[in-house]
Structure 1
Amino acid sequence: MRTLLFYCLLTLAPGLNALPTNLVIASGEIGGVYFQMAGEFCRLVNLQSHAVQCSVLPTDGSQENLALLADGGADMALVQGDLLLAAYRGEGVFAGHPQADLRALMATHAEPLTLVVRKSWQGGLPALRGRPVFLGPPLSGSRASASRLLALPGLLQGEWRETFPPDPQRALCQGQVDLIAIFSGHPNRFIVDLAKQCPIRLLPFNADIITAYVAMHPEYRVSQIPGRLYPELLAPIPTVATPAILVARKTLPIDFVRQLLIAFWNGRQLFNKNVSAYANLFRYPAHMLKPALLIPLHPGSEVMREEIDRAQKNN
């Protein structure tokens, strides 16, 4: 009854009047985790008000999403934490063009760097120097971040042949590509489908490099890919991860953000059931907001945290 009353009150909230009639959430490739999550957020938006119609915009990923936010092509987006921090500061691929009006709404899940090779591949990462690799589509966060990390000393150090096959899964299985690198929550449908096409294994990311790098870069953390999520891949794989963050410009109305995030909290069980990356989802308010603090939080997120904290104390 409390949740039903909450949804009824949402349609009367004055903060929604400042929203565009059509709200666009930039996501990722169709069928991917970002696309699934954006669809669930749109479902919540459309429940809140018949005056606002939310739509999901498929994209190549984080880098394109940040460009869409900058030029007004999207109102909200899901973005890798490391790319978000670079965009906010105007660093890396965003050098000279800081997006200081970006605000984090919440972190949704951790995205471990996932390095996929054929099961028959001999050797670790250094053996892939000079070999053909697929690091993601040109404007994806995976490509930008994997390129950065694999270039670290002791790894591939930029010595690879990057390719963009139309079917990366088939290319890996047929030996046209020797490595696929992606940042994603798990289980991931792309890897599930790939494992059905040919035997694969996941490479660990060097533990010493992880520890030293994370100590200097708050956008990353030591992580692992859980075992038993994919056929014959039973043991956890050590790696590095960055959070996926729902982000908007600071002009998005405070009351709308508060309502959306509380609606997410009230319906989180269904939300989590409808996305595939269940192993890496952030399930508690502190876990949702602390990783998002790479950039300033939207004021609506602060209000949401206070309201959820009060509700939990009263129950």
Structure 2
Amino acid sequence: MKKCLSLLLAALMLAAVLTGCGGNPSTEETDTPADTGTEQAAQTNWSVSSVTGTGTELKFRTGGDQGTYYGFGSVLAQAITTNGNGTKVTAVVSNGSQDNIEQMQMNVAQLGFVQSDVMSYAYNGERLFEGFPYADFSTVAALYMEQVQIVTCDPDIKSVADLEGKTVSIGASGSGVYYNALDILAAYDLTEDDINAQYQDFGASADALQDGKIDAAFVVAGAPTVAITTLATAKDTYLVGLDDEHIAKLQESSPYYEEYIIPEGTYEGVPETKTVAVVATVIARDDVSEDDVYNICYTIFENMDNLAHDKAGELDVEFASGVTAVPYHAGAAKYFAEKGFDVPTK
């Protein structure tokens, strides 16, 4: 009998150990440590909306874990969950703008970070979404500019024209970065066939640059970007700038690009660089509660100084309300109206 009890106890202990050593979650399910249990008390010195949220968990698809979307998105999700008066948001690692929209279409996620150009493609059924428009989403807010950063460790690559014949990462095939790369190459009369194209995300591109496996990479994200910051601390790194003539040519065919100066010191040893940028925008499914979307906007813009991320310094209510490509969600429109800005809705 004692032998049987001993064997049973041993089996139970082994089961407990195996349970505690479960594998890591997949990228698809990597969440921020936002509260998923009882409601947390709002933090001191935070302004809290008087509107009560639904308490329904809203999945917020962001981007890769070395990109700005995930870093800033995690900060926003935690802030909203803690201080959003019942609105619950969980940030999830993703493959970026197109993936976020597709997952929202399937209701795997209810919120997403997207580039403004990709958002327009989806809404109008163009490029990435040619023949398959998806319009059951609305704008929540424009948050900041995300720069097209052409990164290299080769000091002889000084212009986009110098990329001809080089091995260049241009983002995942069909991604927003991919189309940004094609647009910029075209402004310099180059095509995908004129380079040895590689299709890598930010982290893989930075690793390949450090290992000398590629000559340059296109990264579209808010600067500073973790992958580039890490690379610049390990190896001499350069940003390839765009000149006025080619920026003007680019804007003729793609007016959603805006000229942008990346300041000196953004990355170690990298001087001021002229490039272009698109807008990082948060969108929501149309069926997300008006109260929850209102609380998302309220928590972000009434507490900008409390958000612990570099991009929080770029938040601006007027800029946030300036999207014209896709109408705003009713909850966002309610918030912006209170701040004196009328925005288009469906």
- TM-score, length-scaled by structure 1: 0.85
Moved more, 125-134 or 90-99: 125-134
Higher relative contact order (CA 8 A, sep 6+): 1
Q: 2:97 aligns with which of 62, 67, 73?
A: 62
Task: Check the 8 A contact 1:135/1:180 in 2, yes or no.
Answer: yes
Task: Check the 8 A contact 2:147/2:277 in 1, yes or no.
Answer: yes
Q: SS where residue 50 of structure 2 aligns?
A: helix
Q: Does 1:114 align with 2:149?
A: yes
**Structure 2 segments unaligned to the other structure (5+ residues):** 1-41, 342-346
- Per the TM alignment, residue 277 of structure 1 is displaced from its structure 2 partner at its CA by 4.0
Map 1:166-177 to 2 at 5 A.
167-177=204-214
Report the counterpart of residue 7 of structure 1 in structure 2: 48
Report the counterpart of residue 35 of structure 2 in structure 1: none
Alpha-carbon separation, structure 1, partners of 2:143 and 2:234 = 30
- Per the TM alignment, residue 47 of structure 1 is displaced from its structure 2 partner at its CA by 2.4
Q: Does 1:82 align with 2:117?
A: yes
Moved more, 295-304 or 78-87: 295-304
Deviations 1:103-150 (A, max 9, x none): 111011101110111143344222211221112244643233223332
Q: SS where residue 143 of structure 2 aligns?
A: strand
Larger radius of gyration: 2
Change (3 A) 1:242 1:195: same
Report the counterpart of residue 313 of structure 1 in structure 2: none
Change (3 A) 1:302 1:167: closer
Q: 1:25 aligns with which of 46, 52, 60?
A: 60
Change (3 A) 1:269 1:113: same
Alpha-carbon separation, structure 2, partners of 1:189 and 1:51 = 32
Report the counterpart of residue 265 of structure 2 in structure 1: 228
Report the counterpart of residue 251 of structure 1 in structure 2: 287
Change (3 A) 1:205 1:231: same
Change (3 A) 1:114 1:128: same
Aligned structure 1 segments of 4 or more residues deviating by more than 3 angstroms: 3-6, 48-53, 137-140, 164-167, 215-218
Change (3 A) 1:286 1:216: farther
Q: 2:337 aligns with which of 306, 309, 312?
A: 306
Which amino acid in the other structure matches residue 69 of structure 2? Y
Query: What count of residue pairs does the alignment treat as equivalent?
Result: 296
Q: 1:285 aligns with which of 305, 309, 317?
A: 317
Q: Does 1:189 align with 2:226?
A: yes
Report the counterpart of residue 91 of structure 1 in structure 2: 126
Which amino acid in the other structure matches residue 30 of structure 1? D
Alpha-carbon separation, structure 2, partners of 1:7 and 1:140 = 37
Task: Check the 8 A contact 1:258/1:301 in 2, yes or no.
Answer: yes
Alpha-carbon separation, structure 1, partners of 2:304 and 2:47 = 15
Alpha-carbon separation, structure 2, partners of 1:275 and 1:42 = 12
Alpha-carbon separation, structure 1, partners of 2:45 and 2:240 = 47
Alpha-carbon separation, structure 2, partners of 1:308 and 1:153 = 39
Alpha-carbon separation, structure 1, partners of 2:317 and 2:261 = 22
Task: Check the 8 A contact 1:262/1:308 in 2, yes or no.
Answer: no
